[in-house]
Structure formats: structure tokens, C-alpha cells
Structure 1
Amino acid sequence: MQRHRAIILSLLATLALAGCMRSGPTAMISRPGELDSMAYAASPRPGAAYGPDYQLDAGDRLRVVVYGQEGLTNTYTIGPGGTITMPLIGAVPARGRTPSGLAAAITGRLRNGFIRDPSVAVEIDSYRPFFILGEVAAPGQYPYVPNMSVESAVAIAGGFSPRAKRDSVILTHPEGASSVRAAVPLGTPLSPGDTVMVGERWF
């Protein structure tokens, strides 16, 4: 009887130990150069579809609809100063605002002596361009398309030059008045206004 109980206790101890091993924390090993990529990925970034939290900046082209007012409904591009200029109300600051925030600002301006009860909607007609520099066939400025990655940006710029470093690039992403700069792999999502720098390999 005692031997039977000892066998049961031994089995229970083995099961408990196995459970602890399964539930323990998993270690993550980072290779050199991955820390910058992880820091960049952790920073706040617009999503690939760029929803209501997307922050506007110079170069974004907007469709502004003022319902019932054909003379005000038009397409406007945010200028270098970060504003759009509309009839009646003049320059309206757009940089750093969301599309809904800009619509609210336009509504407030129009309500102040121009239209009694304006209804305004702002949609993005096209995003500000991205830039790619360094070891690609055709460096320069290109139109941004949603769901782009660094790899597709390189393809748009004609592909790598023969001397290009092909495993990672330096990506600079604007964050308000500052920017985030990091070494990232080619599959990293690209955002409007980003700058891709393709370096030269040394061997």
C-alpha cells in the first residue's frame, strides 16, 4: 500500500514539474542590429490603412466637401507651411491634425459669420510622397501608396545598385517636430513622408 502511494505521489510530482516547465517565460535572443529595428517598430506609427488617427502634413492632398456649398468643395494640397487655403476663410492650419480635426476647424471658421450650420468632411485624396536615397538605380521622391514596404520602395526606385547593402536600410520617420531613425529590414512598412537610405556594402 505504501509502495503504491509512493508511485502515485511520484507521478503527481512529475506532472507538476512538467507544467511549470511549460508555463515558464520564453527568452528572446536578439541578433546584433535588431534592437534599432525593434525600437522603431515600437514607436507610434499610422496603420497601413491610415484610419482616423492619421496626422496630416505638407504634401498631403485632401478632398474637402462642404455639403451644399459647391464653391467651397474642392481638392486642396497642404503647403510647405502646413496649411490649406480655402475661399472665404483663407489659410487653415492642417499640419498635425487628423482629417476629422481639420474638418472641425473648417466648420468653426465657416460658422463664424459665413454659413449658419456648415457640414464639412475631409478625406485624403493622396498621401505625401516618400523619399529614397543612396544605392538604388533612381533615387528621389515618389508618390506613396498604402501598404507599401521598404522592399516595394526599393523596387519603385529601380532596384538596388550593384554596391547596395541588401539586408537592411536606414529609415527615417517623422514624428511631429522630430523624427525616428533606425536600421530596419526590407519588410518594414513604409509611411507617408518617410525617407529610405540604402547604404553601400563594404565587401
Structure 2
Amino acid sequence: MKRFLTVVFLLLSFGGVAFAQEVAPAAPVVSVEQDYHLGVADKVRILVYDEPTLSGEFLVNANGSISMSLIGDVRAQGRTASDVAEEIRAKLADGYIRAPKVSIDVLSFRPYYILGEVKKPGQYPYSSGLTVLNAVATAEGFSYRAGRKFVYVKRAGELKEQKIRLEASTLVSPGDTIRIGERFF
């Protein structure tokens, strides 16, 4: 009997290894689409190849610009990173550097804001793929008076907030203001 149990144990132990399935690799980090428009408080890394003194990390200032040595201010607000990189390239090529190569990466996005019936309303850092429910969780959840059917979202650059049905897939964008309303009963 002991021998039988030993054989069964060994078969189960090694059988589990033989039939184990490979774990799928982690999903790649999702980046914001190429058409993301820069705004105030976005932090970017600008690389001018073979020119370390011009490369570095820059913040889009309150005027919506990035200040660089040699070429001065470059308007960034409302433009894509590739558009800004092309303007920097053109300005550097205009008498400063022959055939410059410029790339821009967004390091951190402008924050989003959550207001209303959450436990800790305020400003929070944006991360790619953020949903309204993630934002509520970051603000430590709904208050006891929170309405949980609709949410009000004011997108960056828009004047009016939109009333949106609260769903798990509702995405937040950098600079959004989310307001959780009060329920009536």
C-alpha cells in the first residue's frame, strides 16, 4: 500500500509539471496614442542626438511652451509630440545644427482631478489606461452620499462637463475633471 501511494504521489507531482501550461507574458505597458496632445504640466524628455547639452527633461510651462537653449520657446500645448519634435528639428537646422535628429517622449502626463462625492477629492497623477472607477478608487472610494449611476466629466480644453453613465470601461484622459454627484435617496 505504501508503495502504491508513493507511485501515485510521484505521478501527480511530475504529471503536474508535464501538463503545466506556460504563463502568458505580461501585457505590454499601454502608452497613450500617438495623437496625444501635450498640455500644461506635461513632462517630456527631448533627445537631440549627439547633442547632450540640448537634450533633457522639460516641463510644458503655464504658457503652454517648452523653453530650450539656442532656439528659445517652442509652443507645445495642443500639439502632438511628433509635431513639436519636427518644429525643434527645423529650428535647430536653421543655422545651429546640420541635419539634427530629435525625439520626444512623454514622461508624465498632466494630472486629473476628481471632485464631489468621493472620500478624498483632489488632484491625482494620470497613468495610461486609467478608468473612472480607478480614479474613484484612488480617491479612496465613493462617499456614502455618492450617486453611482452617472459621472460628470469635463475634458481638458472643453467648457462644459458631460454626464456619462458610470461603466467600468469609461476612460479618463490627462487633464480631465471628474465630478461624482450626490444621490437623492
TM-score normalized by the length of structure 2 = 0.79
- What is the rounded CA distance, in whole Å, between the counterparts of 1:91 and 1:104 in structure 2? 14
- What is the rounded CA distance, in whole Å, between the counterparts of 1:51 and 1:162 in structure 2? 36
Counterpart secondary structure, 1:108:
helix
Gaps of 5+ in 2: 1-29
From 73, 79, 90, the counterpart of 2:72: 90
Q: Where has structure 1 moved over 3 Å in runs of 4 or more? A: none
What do residues 26-79 of structure 1 show as CA deviations (whole Å, max 9, x unaligned)? xxxxxxxxxxxxxxxxxxxxxx73222111111111010000000111011111
Preserved CA contact (<8 Å) 2:119 2:142? yes
Preserved CA contact (<8 Å) 1:174 1:180? no
- What is the rounded CA distance, in whole Å, between the counterparts of 1:97 and 1:81 in structure 2? 13
- What is the rounded CA distance, in whole Å, between the counterparts of 2:84 and 2:160 in structure 1? 25
From 134, 138, 143, the counterpart of 1:152: 134
Between Structure 1 and Structure 2, which shows a larger proportion of helix residues? 1
* 1:83 shift after superposition: 0.3
Corresponding residue for 2:151? 169
The answer to whether residue 18 in structure 2 is matched with residue 75 in structure 1 is no
Preserved CA contact (<8 Å) 1:169 1:186? no
What do residues 99-139 of structure 1 show as CA deviations (whole Å, max 9, x unaligned)? 11000010111112211211100111111110001111111
Preserved CA contact (<8 Å) 1:165 1:201? yes
Counterpart secondary structure, 1:174:
coil
Corresponding residue for 1:123? 105
The answer to whether residue 27 in structure 2 is matched with residue 58 in structure 1 is no
Corresponding residue for 2:20? none
Counterpart code for 2:183: R
TM-score normalized by the length of structure 1 = 0.72
Gaps of 5+ in 1: 1-47
The RMSD of aligned alpha carbons is 1.3
